[in-house]
Structure 1
Amino acid sequence: MRMFESNVGNVTWMHRPEPDYSRLVWEEANRFRVHTSAYTDPTVFAAEMKHIFQKTWVYVGHESQIPESGNFITSYIGNQPVIVVRDEERQIHVLVNRCVHRGAVVCREGGGRASEFNCPYHGWVYGLDGKLLAVSERKDAGGYDDAFDAPEGLFKVPRVERYRGLIFASFNPAVQPLVPYLGRAKQFIDRKLNFSPEGEIVLSSKPFVVRYPGNWKFQAENIVDGYHFMHTHKGFVQLQMKYGDSTGDFGVHKGGTPKAMRALRFRGAAWRCENGHGLIEKPLGEVDSLFEGEFGDYQRALHDTYGEEEFSFMAGKLSGSIFPNLGLIHNQIRVWRPIAHNMTEVAVYPYELKGAPDAFNEGMLRSQERFYGPAGHGAADDVDIFIRNQQGLEASAVDWLILERGLSTDAPDAGSRDLRGGSTSEAPQRAIWSEWKRLMSAGADQKPSSCPSSTGAHDATQEGHH
């Protein structure tokens, strides 16, 4: 393989051209498969951090976590630690959490309030906008003279945009604007958040955080996998049949028998969207029953505001994987952080619907505990599957994973480049991998992705606010 040279300072580095990672996705007219090494190879993981997490939009937090000047949270863009902070002028900055002196992480707290950031190693001080304010003992005892070329401050991530309180950042100055990037996922987010009478959500509960020894893409795929529920969560299905909502489900997982639950889960549509977003939509077939009981007035008001068709989507079951690291399902924001090719951290943030009845928000929180919390049923089942997946992929004698469910019946959507499939189609997973393939291709640019293609090499063994 030909190498080439480049000079940085006085050091000459030898670079090897990267493999063409697009070969790890085998995509043809009636074929969509992913190579085992896309989940198991540390070299692939390192390339993802460069070609995906440094080039596209990444979710880093929510405005309700930093409501006032001086509020901050720590987050990640891929494996790079960042601070998300609101300065004295209430502007939001995303700063790389690394002192420019000797590289120490400046802030370890998950969140809080500060007037400045002080590096614990040598005491360098930074403002809320990242600007270097002071170098400790600057001229004392063999310090820095007047010729010292002081840096400006913490590295500021060049692009930060928000949509309805969701904060995204990108290291790529040329990344396309956030709203076009979201595409159909913008409508999905609107439908989730419009269930609040004020159109806003609040992250007021502490997150449930779990790590699993498996690849980050398992979580990205699974949150929009309509095919697994009746099998992976078989124990929960039996529990639901016996106890119904009496243990705190609050109507989230409907269906009194496995047959009824299966029928409900096989309704609706799955979407393969541009830019890697995958969605599942299950609108309600009948809404009148929602206008009775304790929350009838609240839900009727939403119905009257948005109309029956839109309300049926809002009140139905919506789940989305916003490429590459954000999920929304039920009343929850889910964020996955890649740590290594075989280690992932997932944080589940239950949210409240601002202006909704307190009892409604309380009931939804209880349902989160029942299914997703540390004593819940669903999260444990899913994490076990992710671990099984990673273990199974050690059987490297088998090259390819199959993502072809619904491939022949997914249909184009009029007026967009998105594809619509049945509720258990693997269309959302193909969305993720289509964008993965585009960004991981050697020399990939940042133009918006084109219509999901039926071409691709398969020889992987050769090388803002609304």
Structure 2
Amino acid sequence: MKTQTISWRVDEYPVDALIQEGPATFRVSGRAYSDQRIFELEQERIFQKTWNFVAHESEVAKPGDFKTAHIGTQPVIVTRGQDMALSVLLNRCVHRGAVVCRERSGNTRAFVCPYHAWTYATDGRLTGITGRDDPNGYGPDFVQPQGMQRVARVENYRGFIFACMDPGVVPLEQYLAGGAAQLLERKLQQSPVGKIRLTGRPFVGTYEGNWKFQAENIVDGYHFMYTHKAFVNLQQKYGDSTGDFGVHKGDNAAKMRLLRARGNVLGSRFGHGINQKPAAEFEQLFEGPHSEYYNQLSEKYGRDELEWIAGVGAACIFPNFGLIHNQLRVWRPIGPAMTEVTVYPYALEGVSDEYNAGMLRSHERFYGPAGYGAVDDIEVFALNQQGLSATQNDWLILERGMHNEKPLENGEIEGLPSSETVHRAFWRSWRDLMTAQGRAVQ
């Protein structure tokens, strides 16, 4: 079903009026999800001004490796040069504007435009113009472009590659500092050698809803028992026997609800949201078939920290990147009511094939194209977008857990597991960027 796009003039309705915030109030107008002009402003003021995840280093490990990605609506190519340097290029020929690279990933010595065969090196330099010196070609006064536009900033944090079009953006390490960096570290620490690798081709899908629904949902601790009720019933009946591999622990709905009430959420001033829980049935891990693996990690990090490393952690790295269980997730805004989501399962380096296979089976069971979880979420996102057409009462309520929040010394806010602390952090950052025309700054 197609959803309605509501239009209004931004100069007549200030963007900051889309959020109502008070001591016990936090509400967001549905227009923030549905308006075309707001969507266009997000591309300018959010996606071009903040760090966007574009690749994992395992995807571009060798000279000549490349993958295509997006920064908001803008297509880019992530490349590894012959000197092993990383570049992120706007995927647009400087001649007539065609997309130069049409493959999702691969290895090449050069990029050749499909329109007139202008050729570029893997670092974006223009190295060949067909018919350059022909009588009908280009004259002596022709000013030859240098090559494809390079994205201003590219940084690699522990294998996670981010890019930003604004050269003045805050350093990536500072952008991720706090709960986001801790979550990334804990995901890597599940590997005895501190590394992951992406495996196989990603799962790519679209839904008829705004990109912010996915950003909010990946760290939403409130919806699981209700949106995924059919899966809860399946888990209660079959448990690990269908390949859960301990990811969604709980012998029954009551126990699952109790386990999901453990842990906390963290909201960052840069808009990141973290939802983390310690491992369920932790002591049993040292008696099971992978006890050697857990003992190895325990010796390295200690029992207290391992309980969190082996637990369940999810993150929304503002604005386009998520991690949950053994997957990376990237969402791409296509329009106010259309979003593409790419899911990358990953394997841990230094663990047994059996362990990685178990994690992959669990991923397929809940998150894969035929799994139980993704279809539930996509349906809800579409229902959310459809509901926005009812505008007489236009405010979405994001006030859960406000009374139990705790400000931390590092500027983050901590909430209880199903609190909407993470959502409020997202929207505060959204508001700051959209109203100040600024960037992610100190």
TM > 0.5 fold call: yes
Q: What TM-score do the two structures reach when normalised by structure 1? A: 0.91
1:207 aligns with 2:202: yes
What residue identity is the alignment partner of 1:355? G
Task: Confirm whether residue 126 of structure 1 aligns to residue 120 of structure 2.
Answer: yes
Show the counterpart of 2:267: 272
Residue type matched to 1:444 in 2?
Answer: G
Give runs of aligned pairs for residues 58-69 of structure 1, distance below 5 A.
58-69=52-63
Counterpart-to-counterpart distance in 2, 1:60 and 1:447: 20
- Name 1:392's counterpart in structure 2: 387
Q: 2:161 and 2:394 mapped to 1: Cα distance? A: 38
Calculate the TM-score normalised by the size of structure 2: 0.96
The one-letter code matched in structure 1 to 2:146 is E
Q: In percent, how many aligned pairs have the same letter?
A: 53
Match of 2:243 among 244, 248, 251: 248
CA offset at residue 442 of structure 1? 4.0
Once the two structures are superposed, what CA deviation does each residue of 1:298-335 show, in whole Å capped at 9, x if it has no partner? Answer: 11110110011111110111111000011000001011
For residues 276-315 of structure 1, the aligned pairs below 5 Å read 276-284=271-279, 287-315=282-310
Listed as ranges, the matches of 1:328-347 within 5 Å are 328-347=323-342
Aligned partners of 1:71, 1:368: CA distance in 2, in Å? 27
In structure 1, give the amino acid aligned to 2:14: D
Q: 1:192 aligns with which of 187, 191, 197?
A: 187
In 2: Cα distance, 1:253 partner to 1:180 partner: 33
CA distance in 2, matches of 1:392, 1:446: 32
Shift of 1:213: 0.5
- What is aligned with 2:400? 405
Alpha-carbon separation, structure 2, partners of 1:443 and 1:231: 38
- RMSD over aligned CA atoms reads 1.2
Q: Report if the CA contact (8 A) 2:46-2:439 is conserved.
A: no
Counterpart position of 1:451: none
Q: Distance in 2 between matches of 1:205 and 1:301?
A: 28
Output the CA distance in 1 between the equivalents of 2:97 and 2:51.
Answer: 25
Q: Distance in 2 between matches of 1:445 and 1:248?
A: 44
Amino acid at match of 2:426: I
Provide the secondary structure at the position in 2 that maps to 1:81: strand
| Structure 1 residue 86 corresponds to structure 2 residue 67 | no
Q: Deviations for 1:28-85, whole angstroms, at most 9, x for unmatched residues? A: 2211111110001011000001000000100001100011000000000000000000
1:378 maps to: 373
Determine helix, strand or coil for the equivalent of 1:155: coil
The number of equivalent residue pairs is 432
Q: Work out whether residues 42 and 434 of structure 2, in 8 Å CA contact, stay in contact via their aligned partners in 1.
A: yes
Query: What are the superposed Cα offsets for residues 89-109 of structure 1, whole Å, 9 maximum, x if unpaired?
Result: 000100000000000000110
AA of the residue aligned to 1:388: L
Q: Name the counterpart of 2:4.
A: none
Partners of 1:33 and 1:427 in 2: CA distance:
13
Instruction: Tell me how far apart the structure 1 counterparts of residues 439 and 290 of structure 2 sit (CA, whole Å).
Output: 49
Correspondence 1:425 to 2:419? yes
2:24 aligned with 1:30, yes or no?
yes
Distance 2:128 2:13 in 1: 44
Q: Give the 3-state SS of the residue equivalent to 2:396 in structure 1.
A: strand
> SS where residue 318 of structure 1 aligns?
strand
Are the structure 2 counterparts of residues 64 and 18 from structure 1 closer, same or farther at C-alpha, using a change threshold of 3 Å?
Answer: farther
Which residue does 2:33 correspond to in 1?
39
Alignment partners' CA distance in 2, 1:254 and 1:293: 15
- Rounded to whole Å, the distance in 1 between the matches of 2:260 and 2:218 is 14
Q: Which residue of 2 aligns with 1:147?
A: 141
Give 1:143 shift.
1.2
Distance in 2 (CA, whole Å) between partners of 1:98 and 1:285 is 49
Provide structure 2 residue ranges, at least 5 long, that are not aligned to the other structure. Answer: 1-9
Q: Is the 8 A contact 2:192 2:351 kept in 1?
A: yes
Runs of 4+ in 1 over 2 A off after TM superposition: 16-20, 284-288, 442-448
Q: Secondary structure at the match of 1:27?
A: strand
Query: In structure 1, what is the Cα distance between the partners aligned to 2:52 and 2:261?
Result: 31
Say which SS state the counterpart of residue 142 (structure 2) adopts: coil
1:286 positional shift: 5.2
- Partner Cα distance (2:200, 2:137) in 1: 46
Establish whether residue 76 from structure 1 lines up as the match of residue 70 from structure 2: yes
Name the counterpart of 1:230.
225
Is the 2:75–2:90 contact (alpha carbons within 8 Å) kept by the matching residues of 1? yes
Q: 1:107 aligns with which of 101, 104, 125?
A: 101
Q: Is the 8 A contact 1:21 1:442 kept in 2?
A: no
The answer as to whether partners of 1:52 and 1:439 remain within 8 angstroms in 2 is: yes
Deviation for aligned residue 1:408: 1.5
